[in-house]
Amino acid sequence: MQYIPNIIFFIVLVAGVGYFTLNVRKLIRNIKLGRKVDASDNVSQRWSNVFRIALGQSKMVVRPIPGLLHIIVYVGFIIINIEMLEIIFDGLFGTHRVLSTILPESLYNFLIGSFEILAFLVLVGVIVFWIRRNIQKVKRFWAREMKGWPKSDGNIILYFEMVLMILFLVMNAADQQLQALGAAHYAEVGAFPISQFIAPIFSGLSEASLVAIERGAWWLHIVGILVFLNYLYFSKHLHIILAFPNVYFGRVEPQGKFKNLDSVTAEVKMMMDPNADPFAAPPEGATEAPSKFGASDVMDLTRTQLLGAYTCTECGRCTSVCPANITGKLLSPRKIMMDTRDRLEEVGKNIDKNGEFQPDGKQLLDNYILREELWACTTCNACVEACPVSIEPMSIIMEMRQYLVMEQSAAPQELNVAMTNIENNSAPWPYNQMDRLNWKDEN
Amino acid sequence: MAEYAAQGKMPEVLFFVGCAGSFDDRAKKITKAFVKILNNANIDFAVLGTEEGCNGDPAKRAGNEFLFQMQAMMNIEVLNGYGIKKIVTACPHCFNTIGNEYPGLGGNYEVMHHTQFLKSLLEDGRLKVEGGKFKGKRITFHDPCYLGRANNEYEAPRNLLEKLDVELLEMKRSKKNGLCCGAGGAQAFKEPENGTKDINIERTEEALETTSEIIATGCPFCMMMMTDGVKAKNAENKVEVMDIAEMIASADDL
């Protein structure tokens, strides 16, 4: 009988980690629907980006207040996770505060003490975040695309963190009272700089009630963490994991450098080669169908772009600096990423159901991202610069424009005029190329 | 350039004028100002003239990769034919496209924006700049996206302004956070989508907030957008929009 809690703990732990693993595999499968990318170049630059931008949060602090709060929550979150080791060991083997029996007392007290201070700071940070979202109503959290689920998602994450931190502190507070009572199992260990102020609330309670509170908080805390872990896949909060690979695969070249399409290069070279035979049969073995130009659905995008869609935490820094969005246009770079993820999830569910993707009469273009949004982009790179985790909404916009122009000839009329001019007289305006040097003799 | 080649000579640098610099009336003034400076500094330079074509930036940013690569290959054929090594341009779009996107198509050149080139002339002592009539004037610099964010060049234009002894006033959004003028991504050739305001108006208002007498820039398209913005705000008698090359040329009264 005495092993029942340990067995239950084992089952909960395996179920929690197992379901998460299942979803991570689904996530990887979905990302692999995208085009392969070669990121074998600039390895040292990529790692340096990971350390600087992801680990070092260098782009978060561009906005000092949310940046600093974010660092506190982030550091707190990571360091408090050391405590998870102890919790898991205790849970599996029925020990209590096992690290205190292994580590020197002073070190253990220092650890628990710092966990408590961090937990308190995280709590404060999260409350300020909640106030910024819901009372101060920071504009970027109230944009058009932030209605419904994205809005609740943002708050649910904050509530989760508040509850987890409170449970951790309550657990320690009850533990102190039990230690004071000299209860069995509750050796006098740990330093409690924060929960000592909660402990008096529990004074005078019986040992049995204190044990119930301590155990209750302990169980809710660990179960809460496992639930939160599994919540990630359904939430924008995936960034706590994916920010790192996303920054690694992020841009290492100047932002102004757009990729040249190799398939187009081949065609243009053939067009300019007087000896090319336009009617030549494809070479033996070339069975591959000609690729589509640009992107109309998530499968046409690169894996980096799809990873970016899962990484996006909808902070809206991109949208808040987008010149089109600032001036009231429909375009919001954040919505481009959210739409891409929503569509990718839809495609993923389609695959879950049918084994492989069955056309559903929908695509990313038009069903999610509107043409009006795509044509409003000035390619100014402000969104790319602003993203704290190196996502590039602009690259998706560009590839969808390529699809519109090269597959559908569906550019706005005025752009067709400009492009015809470039084609005919090598300038976007209707001037003769022979007049290009006229300025030399004008006054 | 054809004349140079006929004489078997090679200029020190090729000035890629660009479409705006060749055809747009306002931008042509920038071209002429820059040429004046080059002549004044005795720089041996050439232009492609009628052999130059649009670099393809608007086509590429509009999504027409075919047209872009056609333009790029034609220009590369001409440039490589002459054996060009070094290019300077007064347009950040030409600068970005030729410098970043031509190498993949076989066009490898050292490409400089005119502010970078002028800065290097100053450093080499081949050009002398004095404040002249700009001394102490309140001036703000509008960062062109394709010079700034796209290629991380924020200092060359500012260094030149410092040399003119101006009082440089930064806008709220500048350098990495600079706000686009609204012309990039082929927007210059179409009407904007529906919204509450035009982007160039938003940017012009920000520039006017600095109480500057001159809005300096380094891009013919930013020039168009900011000039239109100033007109729309009826501020033409308060503030002037000038390219840095024009400022240097007129400071020296060339």
Share of chain B above pLDDT 90, in %: 90
With respect to CATH, is domain B128-251 assigned 3.30.2010?
Answer: no
Q: Is B89 helix (H, G, I), strand (E, B) or coil?
A: strand
Q: Is A337 exposed, middle or buried (0-12, 13-18, 19+ CB in 10 A)?
A: buried
Is A19:A230 a contact under the CB 8 Å cutoff? yes
Residues 415-434 of A with CB under 8 A from B: 415, 417-419, 422-423, 426-429, 431, 433-434
Residues 258-297 of A with CB under 8 A from B: 258, 260-261, 264-265, 267-269, 271-272, 293-294
The predicted-structure confidence for A360-378, as pLDDT tens digits, reads as follows 999 999 999 999 999 999 9
Top-confidence residue, A252 or A278: A252
The predicted-structure confidence for A381-436, as pLDDT tens digits, reads as follows 999 999 999 999 999 999 999 999 999 999 999 999 999 999 999 999 999 999 99
Share of chain A above pLDDT 90, in %: 78
The sheet that has B13-16: what strands, in order across it? Answer: B45-46, B13-16, B86-89, B110-113
Q: What is residue A80's predicted lDDT score, i.e. its pLDDT?
A: 83
Tokens of A162: 């508040």
- Strand segments, DSSP code E, in A256-373 are none
A370 touches chain B (CB under 8 A): no
- The domain limits of chain B are 2-121, 128-251
Q: What is residue A283's predicted lDDT score, i.e. its pLDDT?
A: 63
pTM, full prediction = 0.92
B78 touches chain A (CB under 8 A): no
* CA dihedral for B217, B222, B223, B226, sign (positive or negative): negative
Residue A19 CA to residue A211 CA, distance in Å, equals: 31
| Chain A residues with beta carbon closer than 8 angstroms to that of B232 | none
The predicted-structure confidence for B31-72, as pLDDT tens digits, reads as follows 999 999 999 999 999 999 999 999 999 999 999 999 999 999
Q: What is residue A290's predicted lDDT score, i.e. its pLDDT?
A: 61
Do the domains B2-121 and B128-251 sit in the same CATH topology, yes or no? yes
B107 touches chain A (CB under 8 A): no
Taking the CA of residue B14 and the nearest CA in chain A, the distance in Å comes to 14
Nearest to B67 by CA among A45, A186, A250, A426: A426
With CB atoms and an 8 Å threshold, state whether A439 touches B66. no
For residue A347, give every residue at least 6 positions away whose Cβ sits within 8 Å of its Cβ, in sequence order, or none.
Answer: A30, A33, A297, A298, A299, A357
Pairing verdict, β B110-113 and B138-141: unpaired
Whether the predicted pLDDT of B96 surpasses 70? yes
| Chain B residues with beta carbon closer than 8 angstroms to that of A406 | 63-66
Cross-strand bridge partners of residue B241: B215
The predicted-structure confidence for A9-65, as pLDDT tens digits, reads as follows 999 999 999 999 999 999 999 999 999 999 899 999 999 999 999 999 999 999 999
Tokens of A52: 């600087």
Q: What is residue A189's predicted lDDT score, i.e. its pLDDT?
A: 85
Q: What is residue A288's predicted lDDT score, i.e. its pLDDT?
A: 60
Q: Which amino acid is at A138?
A: V
Residue A323 CA to residue B203 CA, distance in Å, equals: 9
Tokens of A210: 């204190």
Q: φ and ψ at B239, to 5 degrees?
A: -140, 145
Whether the predicted pLDDT of A442 surpasses 90? no
Q: What is the dihedral of CA B55, B58, B61, B64, to 10 degrees?
A: -80
B55 touches chain A (CB under 8 A): no
A141 touches chain B (CB under 8 A): no
Is A316:A393 a contact under the CB 8 Å cutoff? no
With CB atoms and an 8 Å threshold, state whether B190 touches A412. yes
Residues 10-29 of B with CB under 8 A from A: 17, 19, 21-24, 28
CATH class belonging to B2-121:
alpha beta
Q: Is the ipTM beyond the 0.90 threshold? A: yes
With CB atoms and an 8 Å threshold, state whether A329 touches B21. no
The predicted-structure confidence for A318-376, as pLDDT tens digits, reads as follows 999 999 999 999 999 999 999 999 999 999 999 999 999 999 999 999 999 999 999 99
